[in-house]
Chains A and B, each alone.
Chain A
Amino acid sequence: QKEVEQNSGPLSVPEGAIASLNCTYSDRGSQSFFWYRQYSGKSPELIMSIYSNGDKEDGRFTAQLNKASQYVSLLIRDSQPSDSATYLCAVNRDSGYALNFGKGTSLLVTP
């Protein structure tokens, strides 16, 4: 079973701080990596995707990928209470289109 591991949290950060979410994966053949955000009672929505080693920035969000260490992270700068949600790390399965998800990290941004 190919694994995607995340710390379940909850991760609590004050408003305006940087939130750092981490994910490790076991399948060295994985090529595509995704971060989804899921609010309670809602469906997952894509925040970021990354395919190459290094950093990818989109507004307040930065995804970081290190394939040698099999590690992907998501940084949220200037965290807002509206960022409070569960963040799901996902990795493509068997070099295909289907995804393996981690169990998610719960983030709480306190005013």
Chain B
Amino acid sequence: DAEITQSPRHKITETGRQVTLACHQTWNHNNMFWYRQDLGHGLRLIHYSYGVQDTNKGEVSDGYSVSRSNTEDLPLTLESAASSQTSVYFCASSTGHSSTDTQYFGPGTRLTVL
């Protein structure tokens, strides 16, 4: 069955380290998104991509980067992890055919920055 996966599911790292969170989908969706979820803030958009080689900044993109080299993957990199980036990170994807498309979410990655 087609699916969207994230790895690792849990990660503990230290301040200043570079961290990469993986997102992989097998639906052949054009659109992929990264969100973070924090208590009191809900889901906030970090970066998104509408196709290979396309990336766009969301509302909380500072300190994060993405690259899209193929349809299936959109890795999220924290260049120099900060304690403020402790959060749950969700990847999502949609077909890209219409703004009415459903976004399907991965299981999430819980990141702790010490």
Residues of A at the B interface (CB closer than 8 Å) are 1, 31-32, 34, 42-46, 49, 51, 88, 90, 92-93, 95-104
Contact = CB atoms under 8 A, between A and B. Distances in A.
B42 A43 contact: no
B50 A44 contact: no
B31 A97 contact: yes
Q: Which 7 pairs show the lowest CB-CB distances between chains A and B?
A: A103-B42, A101-B43, A43-B105, A92-B99, A32-B99, A32-B100, A98-B48
Contacts, number: 56
B19 interface: no
B64 to A, nearest CB: 15
Contacts of A104: 42
Contact of B42 (A46, A51, A88, A92): A88
Given A1-B59, A44-B90, A97 B101 contact: yes
A13 B18 CA distance: 46
Contacts of A34: 102-103
A1 B43 CA distance: 14
Contact of A44 (B31, B96, B99, B105): B105
Contact of B43 (A31, A88, A95): A88
Nearest to B102: A46
A49 B99 contact: no
B16 interface: no
A103 B41 contact: yes
B102 A49 contact: yes
A97 B59 contact: no
Given A88-B43, A93-B45, A103-B41, A43 B99 contact: no
Contacts of B90: 43-44
